Amino acid sequence: MTPLRRRFLDDLRMRNLSPHTQDAYVRVVAQFARHFHRSPDQLGREQIREYLLHLIRRGYAWDTYNQARCALHFFCRVTRGKDWPLEHLPCAKAPKRLPVVLSRDEVRQFFAAARRPKGRTMLMTAYAAGLRASEVVGLRIPDIDSRRMLIRVREGKGQKDRYVMLSPVLLEALRAYWLRDRPTDWLFPGADPTKPVGRETFTRVCIGVGQHAGLSKRVTPHTLRHTFATHLLEDGVDIRTIQALLGHRSLRTTALYTFVAPEKVAATKSPLDALFATPAPPTASADACSAPVAE
């Protein structure tokens, strides 16, 4: 490892960024250097700007662009000590797309296609508690609190811990899985039992099960998380509770699910219906009240 790379890693750790963010930033800087075939300490503002334009021309997602912008700015200002305000790098406004959500029948179809017990239990955990892929694979056995019927999520997005509900159905599935596999530390260990299963591996399992189920929608762990939130909203759970369960910092992020709850949308009456509604005929009692009083 070069001294520059080591310093960059140390700077990321000192900022206490999540391991996922650290890996992403290191990957961005490495790709930036490979693009110009030069060490990143020999590249400056113009090369960063050119590289970001390259990402746009190649059609990369705007989230990828913004992540590269933040990573290269961190490397430039913190690791190399260059004075460069972040405002000098345009931040892309990412389009807001509605997430893919499964119907309840599609969720049943999805789980029925998950034949391997460990993978099925992981997928059930993601949907039952609305967890991110990194949160599922990061669970340890003590995080399952069957007495209080809670799951402790350690260091979710933003390095925040939170609690989510433990479904009785999920608890039974977890007990059956534990009796069969006997994990000792990580709830879902990988090939090396001292490490959890990889997030990428879990994502591949999820996509594969969705394809095996014959669903037309591409199912990822985040699809299950979106579906969890939408189904709660359809069941009448208030938006603040859903925000806490998902670990969202802003209620605006959670409010996205109000646009994708199809049952609530379908049940809402259009004002057009009221305009063209057929007036109800007068009732007999109303006619009697309007008739003159007999003398």
Residue 57 appears among annotated catalytic residues: no
Residue 115 appears among annotated catalytic residues: no
Q: Please pick, among 73, 77, 222, 264, the residue that the annotation labels catalytic.
A: 222
Q: Please pick, among 25, 51, 69, 132, the residue that the annotation labels catalytic.
A: 132
Show the tokens assigned to 177.
């899985």
Q: Is 274 exposed, middle or buried (0-12, 13-18, 19+ CB in 10 A)?
A: exposed
Q: Please pick, among 51, 65, 69, 225, the residue that the annotation labels catalytic.
A: 225
Q: Please pick, among 69, 120, 231, 248, the residue that the annotation labels catalytic.
A: 248
Q: Please pick, among 157, 162, 199, 217, the residue that the annotation labels catalytic.
A: 157
- Identify the sign of the CA torsion 202, 208, 211, 213: negative
Residue 132 appears among annotated catalytic residues: yes
Angle between helices 117-129 and 199-212 (to 10 degrees): 100
Q: Please pick, among 25, 51, 65, 257, the residue that the annotation labels catalytic.
A: 257
Residue 212 appears among annotated catalytic residues: no
The string over 10-26, giving b where at least 16 C-beta atoms fall within 10 Å of a residue's C-beta and e elsewhere, is: ebbeeeebeeebbebbb
3-state secondary structure of 17: coil
3-state secondary structure of 106: helix
Residue 60 appears among annotated catalytic residues: no
Q: How far apart are CA 250 and CA 78, in angstroms?
A: 28
Which residues are identified as catalytic? Answer: 132, 157, 222, 225, 248, 257
